Amino acid sequence: MGFGTELLIALLLGFLILGPRRMHIMLGQVARVKADFDKITRSLKSQLATESDPSVTSPRAATRELS
């Protein structure tokens, strides 16, 4: 069995156990959590890339240098 088949079986079982209304709510919550996780991951990667590259200065540091 491939990943797609296992996912389909898990969704079918969830639908049977939870019912259509609660399954819809649960999938919405899972999607929200995944979106938040992706947002945090992108933010962390961006922050690490900025801190590891000394040639990139923050906008605040650039305005302090101009003053």
Query: Could you tell me the residue range of the domain that residue 27 belongs to?
Result: 3-66
Q: Give 10-21 pLDDT, tens digit per residue.
A: 888 988 998 888
Q: Give 34-60 pLDDT, tens digit per residue.
A: 999 999 999 999 999 888 876 655 556
Count of structural domains, the chain: 1
Model confidence, pTM? 0.56
Is residue 13 within 8 A of residue 4, CB to CB? The reply is no
The set of residues, in sequence order, having a beta carbon less than 8 Å from that of 15 and lying 6+ positions away, is 23
Which is more confidently placed, 66 or 51? 51
* Model pLDDT, residue 44: 94
| Averaged pLDDT score across all residues of the chain | 82
DSSP string, 5-65: HHHHHHHHHHHHHHHHHHHHHHHHHHHHHHHHHHHHHHHHHHHHHHHH-TT---HHHHHHH
